[in-house]
Chain A
Amino acid sequence: KQEVTQIPAALSVPEGENLVLNCSFTDSAIYNLQWFRQDPGKGLTSLLLIQSSQREQTSGRLNASLDKSSGRSTLYIAASQPGDSATYLCAVRQLGKLTFGQGTILTVHP
């Protein structure tokens, strides 16, 4: 059974800092890995999707990497802003299903 773990569970940083969120998974036979953002009381917004054959994807200040063989992904956020405060979820795709981690709660204070 696939298990996805996200570390840390919570992170608080001052504005402007670069930060890394970690995601690990136990079964490397995945189709892709997706990073989502969830604001309090809201739905999920897709940030980045990395296919199993890819090593990284970038969108603006976000960069996600994937090391499928070791079962790890990182989400790098550059020059963090208070508007980045949210819960970040990673999810891996197998046989049409997504398995989610429990998320990292990020707080960026001015």
Chain B
Amino acid sequence: NAGVTQTPKFRILKIGQSMTLQCTQDMNHNYMYWYRQDPGMGLKLIYYSVGAGITDKGEVPNGYNVSRSTTEDFPLRLELAAPSQTSVYFCASTRGQGGPNEQFFGPGTRLTVL
């Protein structure tokens, strides 16, 4: 299993540009998540999904959109990029909501908006 994969690894955007961060998992997990991590900080939840066709907002959703058309894929869309969106973005997945279910993380996408 490749686990959780993310592309691209690095990206530089100009203010106002748009892009999609890709996330794929091959573990047949129902739950998928997008987090952002700012320097010296913990992770903050942007959006999450409990299954194909179902998404919900996390703590910091403004400026982002998501879709979940398949179990495997959970892309994150940035519209009209702003410098405040400079961050490292992590995608994660887990099988279920209950106690023994670990979250598995991708390697991250480092995004700079200039």
- Chain A nearest CB, measured from B87 CB (Å): 14
Name the residue of chain B whose CB is nearest to the CB of A54: B99
Q: CA–CA, A47 to B56, complex, Å?
A: 28
Residue total for B at the interface (Cβ-Cβ under 8 A): 27
Is B48 a contact partner of A97 (Cβ separation < 8 A)? yes
Q: CA–CA, A49 to B48, complex, Å?
A: 21
- Among B31, B42, B50, residue most surrounded by chain A Cβ atoms (within 10 Å): B42
- Pick from A44, A51, A89, A99: contact of B100, CB under 8 Å: A51
Chain A, residues 15-56, CB within 8 Å of chain B (1/0): the string is 000000000000000011010100001111110010111000
Q: Is the C-beta of A7 less than 8 angstroms from some C-beta in chain B?
A: no
Note all chain B residues with C-beta closer than 8 A to A42: 107-108
5 other contacts beyond A44-B43, A49-B100, A99-B45, with CB at 8 A cut-off? Answer: A44-B90, A46-B104, A46-B105, A95-B97, A96-B48
A residues apposed to B, CB below 8 Å: 4, 31-32, 34, 36, 41-46, 49, 51-53, 89, 91, 93, 95-103
